[in-house]
Amino acid sequence: MAETIDMEDAVEQKSSKASVIIALVLVTAIAAGMGFGSAQFLAPPKAAAEKSDTGDDSSEDAAKAANVVLTDLAPLLTNIQSPEGVWVRLEVSLMSKEPVAASLSTAVGEDLVAYLRTLRLSHIEGPSGFITFREALNDRATHFSEGAVDRVLIRTLLFE
Q: Is the pLDDT of residue 58 over 70?
A: no
Question: What CATH number has the domain spanning 68-159?
Answer: 3.30.479.30
Report the percentage of the chain scoring pLDDT > 70: 77
For residues 37 and 142, give the distance between their C-alpha atoms in angstroms, rounded to a whole number. Answer: 49
Query: Mean pLDDT across the stretch 6-29?
Result: 78
Mean pLDDT of the chain: 84
Instruction: Give the pLDDT of residue 59.
Output: 45
Instruction: Give the pLDDT of residue 108.
Output: 95
What pTM value is reported for the model? 0.59
Query: Mean pLDDT across the stretch 122-149?
Result: 94
Work out the pLDDT band at 8, boundaries 50, 70, 90.
low
Query: End-to-end CA distance of the chain, in Å?
Result: 91
Longest C-alpha distance within the chain, in Å? Answer: 110
Work out the pLDDT band at 131, boundaries 50, 70, 90.
very high
Q: For residue 86, give every residue at least 6 positions away whose Cβ sits within 8 Å of its Cβ, in sequence order, or none.
A: 79, 80, 121, 159, 160
Among residues 137, 129, 120, 125, the alpha carbon closest in space to that of 76 is found at 137
Q: Is the pLDDT of residue 7 over 70?
A: no
Query: Mean pLDDT across the stretch 91-100?
Result: 93
Q: Is the pLDDT of residue 22 over 50?
A: yes
Instruction: Give the pLDDT of residue 19.
Output: 86
Phi first, then psi: what are they for 33, rounded to 5°? -65, -40
Work out the pLDDT band at 153, boundaries 50, 70, 90.
very high
For residues 62 and 58, give the distance between their C-alpha atoms in angstroms, rounded to a whole number. Answer: 6
Strands 87-96 and 69-72: antiparallel
What would the pLDDT profile of 64-76 be if each residue is shown by its tens digit? 556 899 999 999 9
- Beta bridge pairs of residue 69: 96
Report the percentage of the chain scoring pLDDT > 90: 62
